[in-house]
Amino acid sequence: MSLMSDPAVVAGLGLLGVPPLPDVGVLDRHIAALDAAAEHHRRLVPEGASAYRIAARNQGLAADTMHAYLRSQDGALPQAEDLAARLGSAAGALRITRSVIVWAGGVLAGVAVIAAAAVTVAPHLLLRLRAIATQLLTDLRGVMSGIGRLLRHLLRSPRARRIDKVSGRLHDEWRAARRLSDGTFEPRIKKTTDKVWARRHGTDEVDIANTRYDDLPADWQKENRESATVAVKAIDAARKNGTDLRHGDFMEDASEKVHDEWLRRNKDWAPPEQSLKYGDLSEAEKEKDRVVVRQALDVLYPK
C-alpha cells in the first residue's frame, strides 16, 4: 500500500480539502519509454556511421546522396544524435518531476496525518494546516509548470529551435533602436491575450521592449516567429538546391516570400504602402523584409 493510500492520510487529505498527488507509476512508465527510445537512437549513430564510412570511399551522385542523407544538417545521423540527446534529457526531467512529487507527497502525507489527529485533540490547528497544504500545492504547481516548460523546450525539433533563435534575433533587432544609456529599453507596454502568461505574471500587460523574446507571451512572439519560419524554410530549401545564399537573387526571392506571407497574415490592416506586391514596394519597405532574411542568415550561417 502506498503512503498516499494509507487510511489516516486519506482521511487527513479530506479534512485539508486537497486531492492526493499523481501516481508516480505513470511517470515511471514514461521514463522507461523515453530511456528506451533514447538508447535506440544512440545505437543508430554508430551503425549509420559504419555505413557512411563505406559509402564515403565512393564518388559520384550516389555517394553525394548518401553523404547528404547521413551527414548533412538535416541528415539521419545528426537527427538521431539530436533526438537521442533530447529524449534522454526529457527522461531526466521526468525523474526530477518524480522526485519532487515523492518529496511533496511525503510532506503532504505528514500534514494529513497531523490533521487527522488534530480533529479530536486540537481542532483549532486545522485552519493552519489547510494553509500549509494549500501553499505546498501552489509551490508544487509552480515547480511542475517550470518543468513542463523545460520539457516542451527539450522536445522541440532542431528546425523549431533554429526558428526560435532567428525569432529572438528579430526581436532584439527591433528593440535595439529603443536602447537607453542605462542598457534598458524605452518601454512599450502592450496587452496580451495569453492567459497562461498572464496567470503566471499576475497581469495582462507586458513591456515588450524590456522583455526577452523567450519570456514574451505567445501572442507577442507570433509575428517574429511567423516571419522567421518563412525565412528559415526559404534558406533550407535554397541550401538543399545548392543556391548561393549570399547572392542578391536569393535575397530578393526569399524577401519576397517573407513579404507575401506577412501580407497574407496582415492584409486586413496593412497600410497602403505595404499592401503592394513585393516588386512594387519602395526600397525602404523591401529592406524591412530583407532584414528578416539577413538576420536569419547571420544566425544560421554566420560569415
Q: State the residue for C-alpha cell 541550401.
A: 239
As given in the structure block, the three cell numbers for residue 170 are 528579430
Predicted confidence (pLDDT) per residue in 37-73, tens digit: 999 888 877 766 665 555 555 555 555 555 655 556 6
Contact 232, 248 (CB under 8 A): no
Would you state the pLDDT for residue 20? 75
pTM for the model: 0.64
Confidence check: pLDDT of 253 > 60: yes
The mean pLDDT of the chain is 87
Output the pLDDT for position 148.
82
- The pLDDT of residue 266 is above 70: yes
Whether 121 shows a pLDDT value over 90: the answer reads no
Map residue 206 onto helix, strand or coil: strand
More confident residue, 74 or 227: 227
Q: Which fold has domain 157-303?
A: Globin-like (1.10.490)
Among 44-58, 233-247, 253-267, the range with the most confident prediction by mean pLDDT is 253-267
Confidence of residue 1 (pLDDT cuts 50, 70, 90): very low
Query: Comparing 133-137, 203-207, 252-256, which segment has the lowest mean pLDDT?
Result: 133-137
Which of 301, 159, 157 is closest to 229 using CA atoms? 159
Q: How many CB atoms lie within 10 A of CB 17?
A: 11
Answer whether residue 146 shows pLDDT above 50. Answer: yes
**Who wins on pLDDT, 224 or 158?**
224
Nearest Cα neighbor of 80 from 120, 54, 52, 59 is 52
